[in-house]
Amino acid sequence: MPPKKVVREVFLIEGKYEKYKSSLSTPNRLLLLRGAHQIPHLIPLISPEPTVCPETPPPGHTCAFEIFFSLCGLYFPLPDVLIDLMHEFGIALPQLCPNVI
């Protein structure tokens, strides 16, 4: 029997800087992401609620888009050059374009 496709409702979330579509991430997708890209279990991964935008992650968390790992080769711990770049320009990880990574 083929797997059943579950369709998630997509919301448009108004952020301070722009509008965002809600995340399609699920706990199962995060498990696959963790395994495929050797993300250590010390780094907690959470699937955001449908109304959470990248500008407002829960306290103690930051946003990282799946594309950063799957297509851009991002890994943990974050490379020092990336941390230095974010610190120098005062930007957060989700503000980077994938081609920077």
- Nearest alpha-carbon partner for 49 in 41, 61, 39: 61
Q: Is the pTM of this model over 0.75?
A: no
Q: Going residue by residue through the chain (101 aa), what tens digit of pLDDT does each one get? A: 676 666 667 778 888 878 888 888 888 889 998 998 888 899 889 888 877 888 888 888 888 888 888 888 888 788 899 899 989 999 888 888 777 77
In this prediction, residue 37 carries a pLDDT of: 86
Residue 30's SS3 state is helix
Cα 97 from Cα 101, distance rounded (Å):
7
